[in-house]
Amino acid sequence: MITTALELFWEFFKIGLFAVGGGPATLPFLMDLTNAKPWYTMEQLTNMIAISESTPGPLGLNMSTYAGFQTLGFFGGLVSSFGLVLPSVVIIILIARFLDNFSQNPYVRAAFYGIRPAVTALIGAAVFGLCRVSLFTEADGVLKPEVGSMIIAVVVFGLLQVKCLKKLHPALWFLLGAGIGIILRL
Amino acid sequence: MKEINMLWQLYWAFLRIGGLTFGGGLTMLPMLKYELVEKKNWITEEELVDCYAIGQCTPGIIAVNTATFVGYKKKGVAGGIFSTLGMVTPSLVIITLVAACLENFMDNVWLQHALMGVRGIVCALMLNTVITLARKSLVDGFCCVVCGIVLLICLLTDVPTILIVVISAICGIIFEKIVHSQKFEQKKSAVCEDAAISGDPQRGDEA
Protein backbone atom coordinates (compact mmCIF):
# COMPACT_ATOMS: atom_id res chain seq x y z
CA MET A 1 0.00 0.00 0.00
CA ILE A 2 2.86 2.35 0.84
CA THR A 3 4.44 1.59 -2.54
CA THR A 4 1.18 2.35 -4.34
CA ALA A 5 0.82 5.58 -2.37
CA LEU A 6 4.36 6.62 -3.28
CA GLU A 7 3.72 5.72 -6.92
CA LEU A 8 0.49 7.75 -6.91
CA PHE A 9 2.31 10.69 -5.41
CA TRP A 10 5.15 10.47 -7.93
CA GLU A 11 2.91 10.13 -11.01
CA PHE A 12 0.74 13.09 -10.01
CA PHE A 13 3.78 15.10 -9.00
CA LYS A 14 5.03 14.69 -12.59
CA ILE A 15 1.63 15.74 -13.93
CA GLY A 16 1.66 18.84 -11.71
CA LEU A 17 5.13 19.67 -12.95
CA PHE A 18 4.52 19.21 -16.68
CA ALA A 19 0.82 19.78 -17.36
CA VAL A 20 1.06 23.37 -18.54
CA GLY A 21 -2.31 24.98 -19.18
CA GLY A 22 -4.48 23.69 -16.35
CA GLY A 23 -7.46 21.31 -16.43
CA PRO A 24 -7.67 19.74 -19.91
CA ALA A 25 -3.86 19.62 -20.14
CA THR A 26 -3.89 16.90 -17.48
CA LEU A 27 -5.96 14.66 -19.78
CA PRO A 28 -3.10 13.33 -21.97
CA PHE A 29 -1.14 12.48 -18.82
CA LEU A 30 -4.11 10.73 -17.20
CA MET A 31 -4.58 8.80 -20.42
CA ASP A 32 -0.94 7.65 -20.37
CA LEU A 33 -1.59 6.30 -16.88
CA THR A 34 -4.37 3.99 -18.10
CA ASN A 35 -1.72 2.16 -20.14
CA ALA A 36 1.13 2.37 -17.66
CA LYS A 37 -0.65 1.61 -14.36
CA PRO A 38 -3.51 -0.68 -13.33
CA TRP A 39 -5.20 2.12 -11.35
CA TYR A 40 -8.21 2.87 -13.54
CA THR A 41 -9.56 1.98 -16.99
CA MET A 42 -10.49 4.20 -19.92
CA GLU A 43 -14.19 3.75 -19.06
CA GLN A 44 -13.52 4.98 -15.54
CA LEU A 45 -11.58 7.90 -16.96
CA THR A 46 -14.65 8.88 -19.01
CA ASN A 47 -16.83 8.75 -15.88
CA MET A 48 -14.16 10.75 -14.11
CA ILE A 49 -14.34 13.55 -16.68
CA ALA A 50 -18.14 13.71 -16.39
CA ILE A 51 -17.97 13.90 -12.60
CA SER A 52 -15.12 16.42 -12.53
CA GLU A 53 -16.94 18.69 -14.95
CA SER A 54 -20.20 18.68 -12.99
CA THR A 55 -18.78 19.30 -9.52
CA PRO A 56 -17.23 22.54 -8.25
CA GLY A 57 -13.49 22.98 -8.12
CA PRO A 58 -10.71 23.03 -10.71
CA LEU A 59 -10.98 20.24 -13.28
CA GLY A 60 -7.41 18.97 -12.91
CA LEU A 61 -7.68 18.74 -9.14
CA ASN A 62 -11.00 16.90 -9.32
CA MET A 63 -9.56 14.43 -11.81
CA SER A 64 -6.52 13.70 -9.65
CA THR A 65 -8.64 13.24 -6.51
CA TYR A 66 -10.97 10.88 -8.36
CA ALA A 67 -8.08 8.88 -9.83
CA GLY A 68 -6.46 8.59 -6.42
CA PHE A 69 -9.77 7.55 -4.86
CA GLN A 70 -10.24 4.79 -7.45
CA THR A 71 -6.88 3.39 -6.44
CA LEU A 72 -6.54 3.79 -2.67
CA GLY A 73 -9.76 5.36 -1.36
CA PHE A 74 -9.76 8.68 0.48
CA PHE A 75 -6.08 8.37 1.35
CA GLY A 76 -5.26 7.89 -2.35
CA GLY A 77 -7.19 11.03 -3.25
CA LEU A 78 -5.26 12.95 -0.63
CA VAL A 79 -1.89 11.67 -1.82
CA SER A 80 -2.47 12.30 -5.54
CA SER A 81 -3.86 15.81 -4.94
CA PHE A 82 -0.88 16.60 -2.74
CA GLY A 83 1.44 15.36 -5.48
CA LEU A 84 -0.35 17.43 -8.11
CA VAL A 85 -0.27 20.64 -6.08
CA LEU A 86 3.26 20.44 -4.65
CA PRO A 87 5.19 21.51 -7.80
CA SER A 88 2.81 24.47 -8.25
CA VAL A 89 3.32 25.69 -4.70
CA VAL A 90 7.10 25.41 -4.88
CA ILE A 91 7.42 26.96 -8.35
CA ILE A 92 5.04 29.83 -7.62
CA ILE A 93 6.72 30.71 -4.33
CA LEU A 94 10.13 30.71 -6.01
CA ILE A 95 8.86 32.91 -8.83
CA ALA A 96 7.10 35.29 -6.46
CA ARG A 97 10.24 35.56 -4.37
CA PHE A 98 12.96 35.83 -6.99
CA LEU A 99 11.52 36.82 -10.33
CA ASP A 100 9.74 40.02 -11.16
CA ASN A 101 7.61 40.21 -14.26
CA PHE A 102 7.89 36.48 -14.90
CA SER A 103 5.01 36.44 -17.36
CA GLN A 104 6.61 39.30 -19.32
CA ASN A 105 9.94 37.50 -19.66
CA PRO A 106 10.75 37.01 -23.38
CA TYR A 107 12.03 33.47 -22.82
CA VAL A 108 8.87 32.47 -20.99
CA ARG A 109 6.80 33.96 -23.79
CA ALA A 110 8.86 32.20 -26.45
CA ALA A 111 8.58 28.87 -24.62
CA PHE A 112 4.81 29.30 -24.49
CA TYR A 113 4.76 30.07 -28.19
CA GLY A 114 5.93 26.47 -28.69
CA ILE A 115 4.04 24.87 -25.80
CA ARG A 116 0.54 26.14 -26.63
CA PRO A 117 0.10 24.44 -30.02
CA ALA A 118 1.81 21.29 -28.70
CA VAL A 119 -0.57 21.09 -25.74
CA THR A 120 -3.51 21.60 -28.09
CA ALA A 121 -2.31 18.63 -30.14
CA LEU A 122 -1.72 16.52 -27.01
CA ILE A 123 -5.25 17.17 -25.81
CA GLY A 124 -6.57 16.56 -29.32
CA ALA A 125 -4.87 13.15 -29.48
CA ALA A 126 -6.15 12.30 -25.99
CA VAL A 127 -9.71 13.18 -27.00
CA PHE A 128 -9.32 11.07 -30.15
CA GLY A 129 -8.38 8.12 -27.96
CA LEU A 130 -11.26 8.87 -25.62
CA CYS A 131 -13.77 8.90 -28.50
CA ARG A 132 -12.40 5.65 -29.87
CA VAL A 133 -12.92 3.88 -26.56
CA SER A 134 -16.29 5.50 -25.80
CA LEU A 135 -17.95 5.28 -29.19
CA PHE A 136 -16.61 1.90 -30.36
CA THR A 137 -16.30 -1.52 -28.79
CA GLU A 138 -13.39 -3.67 -29.80
CA ALA A 139 -14.12 -7.36 -30.39
CA ASP A 140 -11.48 -9.66 -31.90
CA GLY A 141 -9.47 -6.69 -33.11
CA VAL A 142 -12.42 -5.27 -35.04
CA LEU A 143 -13.93 -1.93 -34.07
CA LYS A 144 -17.71 -2.03 -33.77
CA PRO A 145 -19.49 1.32 -33.44
CA GLU A 146 -21.76 1.93 -30.44
CA VAL A 147 -24.64 3.41 -32.40
CA GLY A 148 -26.49 4.95 -29.41
CA SER A 149 -23.51 6.78 -27.90
CA MET A 150 -22.38 7.86 -31.33
CA ILE A 151 -25.70 9.47 -32.22
CA ILE A 152 -25.75 11.27 -28.85
CA ALA A 153 -22.19 12.52 -29.40
CA VAL A 154 -22.86 13.80 -32.93
CA VAL A 155 -26.17 15.49 -32.05
CA VAL A 156 -24.83 17.15 -28.89
CA PHE A 157 -21.68 18.29 -30.71
CA GLY A 158 -23.93 19.90 -33.33
CA LEU A 159 -26.06 21.55 -30.64
CA LEU A 160 -22.92 22.91 -28.93
CA GLN A 161 -22.19 24.97 -32.04
CA VAL A 162 -25.40 26.93 -31.46
CA LYS A 163 -24.57 30.13 -29.61
CA CYS A 164 -27.24 30.11 -26.91
CA LEU A 165 -26.68 26.44 -26.06
CA LYS A 166 -22.94 26.93 -25.63
CA LYS A 167 -23.35 28.45 -22.21
CA LEU A 168 -25.43 25.64 -20.74
CA HIS A 169 -23.72 24.08 -17.76
CA PRO A 170 -21.94 20.76 -18.60
CA ALA A 171 -23.87 19.07 -15.75
CA LEU A 172 -27.13 19.71 -17.66
CA TRP A 173 -25.75 17.94 -20.73
CA PHE A 174 -24.66 14.99 -18.59
CA LEU A 175 -28.14 14.79 -17.04
CA LEU A 176 -29.63 14.77 -20.53
CA GLY A 177 -27.23 12.01 -21.59
CA ALA A 178 -28.01 9.97 -18.48
CA GLY A 179 -31.75 10.36 -19.13
CA ILE A 180 -31.42 9.22 -22.75
CA GLY A 181 -29.21 6.33 -21.65
CA ILE A 182 -31.85 5.14 -19.18
CA ILE A 183 -34.80 5.59 -21.54
CA LEU A 184 -33.13 3.83 -24.47
CA ARG A 185 -31.35 1.27 -22.23
CA LEU A 186 -28.04 1.80 -23.96
CA MET B 1 -2.95 35.90 16.94
CA LYS B 2 -3.50 38.30 14.10
CA GLU B 3 -1.16 36.27 11.91
CA ILE B 4 -3.11 33.09 12.43
CA ASN B 5 -6.37 34.91 11.88
CA MET B 6 -5.13 36.11 8.48
CA LEU B 7 -4.07 32.59 7.49
CA TRP B 8 -7.55 31.30 8.32
CA GLN B 9 -9.11 34.09 6.33
CA LEU B 10 -6.97 33.12 3.33
CA TYR B 11 -7.97 29.48 3.79
CA TRP B 12 -11.68 30.29 3.97
CA ALA B 13 -11.62 32.74 1.07
CA PHE B 14 -10.04 30.14 -1.24
CA LEU B 15 -12.25 27.40 0.13
CA ARG B 16 -15.26 29.46 -0.92
CA ILE B 17 -13.74 30.17 -4.34
CA GLY B 18 -12.88 26.50 -4.91
CA GLY B 19 -16.24 25.28 -3.65
CA LEU B 20 -18.39 27.65 -5.66
CA THR B 21 -16.81 27.70 -9.12
CA PHE B 22 -17.32 24.95 -11.63
CA GLY B 23 -14.65 24.14 -14.17
CA GLY B 24 -11.65 26.06 -12.86
CA GLY B 25 -9.33 28.08 -15.09
CA LEU B 26 -10.92 31.14 -16.63
CA THR B 27 -14.32 30.66 -15.01
CA MET B 28 -12.66 31.39 -11.69
CA LEU B 29 -11.65 34.94 -12.52
CA PRO B 30 -14.97 36.68 -11.67
CA MET B 31 -15.15 34.78 -8.38
CA LEU B 32 -11.53 35.66 -7.53
CA LYS B 33 -12.27 39.29 -8.29
CA TYR B 34 -15.34 39.33 -6.08
CA GLU B 35 -13.67 37.65 -3.10
CA LEU B 36 -10.18 39.16 -3.21
CA VAL B 37 -10.64 42.60 -4.73
CA GLU B 38 -14.17 43.71 -3.91
CA LYS B 39 -14.95 41.93 -0.64
CA LYS B 40 -11.60 41.62 1.12
CA ASN B 41 -9.60 44.38 -0.55
CA TRP B 42 -6.49 42.21 -0.32
CA ILE B 43 -5.15 43.04 -3.76
CA THR B 44 -5.98 45.48 -6.55
CA GLU B 45 -7.55 44.38 -9.78
CA GLU B 46 -4.27 44.94 -11.65
CA GLU B 47 -2.44 42.72 -9.17
CA LEU B 48 -5.07 40.04 -9.66
CA VAL B 49 -4.57 40.11 -13.43
CA ASP B 50 -0.80 39.82 -12.85
CA CYS B 51 -1.31 36.87 -10.51
CA TYR B 52 -3.53 35.29 -13.07
CA ALA B 53 -1.01 35.75 -15.89
CA ILE B 54 1.64 34.05 -13.75
CA GLY B 55 -0.80 31.24 -12.92
CA GLN B 56 -1.18 30.60 -16.64
CA CYS B 57 2.51 30.72 -17.52
CA THR B 58 3.56 28.14 -14.94
CA PRO B 59 2.93 24.40 -14.90
CA GLY B 60 0.09 22.98 -12.86
CA ILE B 61 -3.54 23.84 -12.19
CA ILE B 62 -4.16 27.52 -12.95
CA ALA B 63 -6.49 28.03 -9.98
CA VAL B 64 -3.96 26.53 -7.57
CA ASN B 65 -1.14 28.64 -9.00
CA THR B 66 -3.18 31.80 -8.59
CA ALA B 67 -4.15 30.86 -5.02
CA THR B 68 -0.54 30.20 -4.04
CA PHE B 69 0.59 33.47 -5.57
CA VAL B 70 -2.05 35.60 -3.83
CA GLY B 71 -1.45 33.81 -0.51
CA TYR B 72 2.30 34.29 -0.78
CA LYS B 73 1.97 38.00 -1.56
CA LYS B 74 -0.31 38.39 1.45
CA LYS B 75 1.40 36.27 4.11
CA GLY B 76 4.58 34.62 2.78
CA VAL B 77 5.12 30.88 2.43
CA ALA B 78 2.52 29.99 5.08
CA GLY B 79 -0.02 32.16 3.28
CA GLY B 80 0.70 30.37 0.00
CA ILE B 81 0.23 26.98 1.63
CA PHE B 82 -3.00 27.91 3.44
CA SER B 83 -4.55 29.40 0.30
CA THR B 84 -3.69 26.25 -1.65
CA LEU B 85 -5.13 24.02 1.08
CA GLY B 86 -8.32 26.07 0.94
CA MET B 87 -8.52 25.61 -2.83
CA VAL B 88 -7.94 21.85 -2.56
CA THR B 89 -10.37 21.08 0.30
CA PRO B 90 -13.72 21.33 -1.57
CA SER B 91 -12.51 19.15 -4.46
CA LEU B 92 -11.18 16.53 -2.08
CA VAL B 93 -14.39 16.34 -0.02
CA ILE B 94 -16.91 16.56 -2.87
CA ILE B 95 -15.13 14.16 -5.22
CA THR B 96 -14.56 11.61 -2.48
CA LEU B 97 -18.26 11.65 -1.60
CA VAL B 98 -19.40 11.38 -5.22
CA ALA B 99 -16.86 8.66 -6.05
CA ALA B 100 -17.80 6.65 -2.95
CA CYS B 101 -21.52 6.79 -3.85
CA LEU B 102 -20.83 5.87 -7.46
CA GLU B 103 -18.66 2.89 -6.53
CA ASN B 104 -21.42 1.48 -4.31
CA PHE B 105 -24.06 1.64 -7.04
CA MET B 106 -21.81 0.53 -9.91
CA ASP B 107 -23.64 -2.83 -10.27
CA ASN B 108 -26.97 -1.07 -10.68
CA VAL B 109 -28.30 -1.61 -14.23
CA TRP B 110 -29.91 1.84 -14.43
CA LEU B 111 -26.68 3.55 -13.46
CA GLN B 112 -24.89 1.62 -16.18
CA HIS B 113 -27.43 2.76 -18.78
CA ALA B 114 -27.06 6.33 -17.55
CA LEU B 115 -23.26 6.19 -17.75
CA MET B 116 -23.44 4.85 -21.30
CA GLY B 117 -25.53 7.88 -22.23
CA VAL B 118 -23.10 10.22 -20.46
CA ARG B 119 -20.21 8.77 -22.45
CA GLY B 120 -21.40 10.27 -25.73
CA ILE B 121 -21.85 13.64 -24.03
CA VAL B 122 -18.27 13.55 -22.68
CA CYS B 123 -16.99 12.97 -26.22
CA ALA B 124 -19.00 15.86 -27.62
CA LEU B 125 -17.94 18.29 -24.87
CA MET B 126 -14.27 17.35 -25.04
CA LEU B 127 -14.26 17.61 -28.84
CA ASN B 128 -15.74 21.06 -28.48
CA THR B 129 -13.01 22.00 -25.97
CA VAL B 130 -10.30 20.94 -28.41
CA ILE B 131 -11.80 22.99 -31.23
CA THR B 132 -12.11 26.09 -29.03
CA LEU B 133 -8.52 25.59 -27.95
CA ALA B 134 -7.26 25.17 -31.50
CA ARG B 135 -9.02 28.38 -32.57
CA LYS B 136 -7.27 30.27 -29.79
CA SER B 137 -3.81 28.74 -29.93
CA LEU B 138 -3.14 28.20 -33.64
CA VAL B 139 -2.36 31.82 -34.43
CA ASP B 140 0.24 31.40 -37.20
CA GLY B 141 2.08 28.94 -39.44
CA PHE B 142 4.62 27.90 -36.83
CA CYS B 143 1.85 26.99 -34.37
CA CYS B 144 0.00 24.96 -37.00
CA VAL B 145 3.17 23.06 -37.93
CA VAL B 146 3.97 22.28 -34.28
CA CYS B 147 0.39 21.19 -33.66
CA GLY B 148 0.36 18.94 -36.74
CA ILE B 149 3.69 17.31 -35.95
CA VAL B 150 2.79 16.66 -32.31
CA LEU B 151 -0.59 15.24 -33.34
CA LEU B 152 1.11 12.80 -35.73
CA ILE B 153 3.69 11.82 -33.10
CA CYS B 154 0.94 11.19 -30.53
CA LEU B 155 -1.23 9.10 -32.81
CA LEU B 156 1.57 7.02 -34.33
CA THR B 157 4.17 6.61 -31.56
CA ASP B 158 4.49 6.36 -27.77
CA VAL B 159 6.76 9.33 -27.12
CA PRO B 160 6.26 10.37 -23.46
CA THR B 161 4.01 13.40 -23.00
CA ILE B 162 6.56 15.11 -20.75
CA LEU B 163 9.21 14.94 -23.47
CA ILE B 164 6.82 16.54 -25.97
CA VAL B 165 6.10 19.46 -23.62
CA VAL B 166 9.81 20.06 -22.97
CA ILE B 167 10.83 19.82 -26.64
CA SER B 168 8.00 22.11 -27.78
CA ALA B 169 9.12 24.74 -25.26
CA ILE B 170 12.68 24.54 -26.59
CA CYS B 171 11.40 24.76 -30.19
CA GLY B 172 9.39 27.86 -29.26
CA ILE B 173 12.46 29.55 -27.79
CA ILE B 174 14.75 28.61 -30.68
CA PHE B 175 12.23 29.67 -33.30
CA GLU B 176 11.45 32.99 -31.66
CA LYS B 177 15.02 33.88 -30.75
CA ILE B 178 16.83 32.84 -33.92
CA VAL B 179 14.43 32.70 -36.82
CA HIS B 180 12.41 35.83 -36.38
CA SER B 181 13.66 37.84 -33.48
CA GLN B 182 12.51 41.11 -35.07
CA LYS B 183 8.91 40.12 -35.39
CA PHE B 184 8.84 38.90 -31.80
CA GLU B 185 8.59 42.38 -30.31
CA GLN B 186 5.38 43.13 -32.18
CA LYS B 187 3.72 39.93 -31.19
CA LYS B 188 4.74 40.15 -27.57
CA SER B 189 1.29 40.85 -26.26
CA ALA B 190 -0.35 37.82 -27.78
CA VAL B 191 1.45 34.93 -26.15
CA CYS B 192 1.13 34.91 -22.40
CA GLU B 193 -2.05 36.79 -21.48
CA ASP B 194 -4.27 34.31 -23.19
CA ALA B 195 -1.95 31.36 -22.74
CA ALA B 196 -4.50 29.77 -20.50
CA ILE B 197 -6.09 26.68 -21.69
CA SER B 198 -9.40 27.24 -20.06
CA GLY B 199 -10.51 24.62 -17.63
CA ASP B 200 -14.00 24.89 -18.91
CA PRO B 201 -15.07 23.61 -22.28
CA GLN B 202 -18.24 25.68 -22.39
CA ARG B 203 -17.15 29.13 -21.47
CA GLY B 204 -13.56 28.94 -22.62
CA ASP B 205 -14.19 30.90 -25.77
CA GLU B 206 -15.52 33.94 -23.99
CA ALA B 207 -12.09 35.08 -22.96
Q: With a cut of 80, say whether residue B188 has pLDDT above it.
A: no
Q: Is residue A139 part of a domain?
A: no
Q: Is residue A128 part of a domain?
A: yes
Q: Give me the domain span that covers residue A169.
A: 146-186
Average pLDDT of chain A is 86
* Same domain flag for A27 and A107: yes
Number of domains composing chain A: 2
Determine the pLDDT at residue B199: 41
B28 neighbourhood in chain A, CB within 8 Å: 58
* Same domain flag for A107 and A175: no
In this complex, do B125 and A109 lie within 8 Å of one another by their Cβ atoms? Answer: no
Q: Is residue A53 part of a domain?
A: yes
Determine the pLDDT at residue A172: 86
Name the residue among B23, B20, B14, B9 with its Cα closest to residue B207.
B23
**From the CA of B1, how many Å to the nearest CA of chain A?**
24
* Same domain flag for A36 and A6: yes
* Same domain flag for A23 and A98: yes
A66 neighbourhood in chain B, CB within 8 Å: 95, 99
Determine the pLDDT at residue B207: 32
Q: Between A70, A125, A180, which is nearest B155 by CB?
A: A125
In sequence order, which residues have a C-beta less than 8 Å from that of residue A83 and are 6 or more positions away?
A8, A9, A10, A11, A12, A13, A15, A16, A64
ipTM surpasses 0.85: no
Determine the pLDDT at residue B205: 39
Scanning B140-159 for CB atoms below 8 A from A yields 142-144, 146-151, 154-155
Q: Which residues of chain A have pLDDT under 70?
A: none
Which one of A86, A106, A132 terminates a domain? A132
Average pLDDT of chain B is 81
The CA distance from B28 to B199, in Å, is 9
The CA distance from A24 to B132, in Å, is 12
In this complex, do A88 and B61 lie within 8 Å of one another by their Cβ atoms? Answer: yes
* Same domain flag for A61 and A96: yes
How much of chain B exceeds pLDDT 70, in percent? Answer: 84
Q: Is residue A60 part of a domain?
A: yes
* Same domain flag for A169 and A78: no
In this complex, do A51 and B142 lie within 8 Å of one another by their Cβ atoms? Answer: no
* Same domain flag for A124 and A160: no
Name the residue among B60, B58, B152 with its Cα closest to residue A16.
B60
Q: Is residue A138 part of a domain?
A: no
* Same domain flag for A181 and A116: no
Determine the pLDDT at residue B187: 54
Determine the pLDDT at residue B204: 38
* Same domain flag for A109 and A31: yes
* Same domain flag for A71 and A103: yes
In this complex, do A127 and B95 lie within 8 Å of one another by their Cβ atoms? Answer: no
Q: Is residue A137 part of a domain?
A: no
Furthest C-alpha separation in chain A: 59
In this complex, do A115 and B72 lie within 8 Å of one another by their Cβ atoms? Answer: no
Q: With a cut of 60, say whether residue B51 has pLDDT above it.
A: yes
Residue pLDDT, tens place only, A57-75: 887 888 888 889 988 889 9
Residue pLDDT, tens place only, B63-114: 888 889 889 988 899 999 999 999 999 989 999 998 888 888 878 888 888 8
In this complex, do B91 and A58 lie within 8 Å of one another by their Cβ atoms? Answer: yes
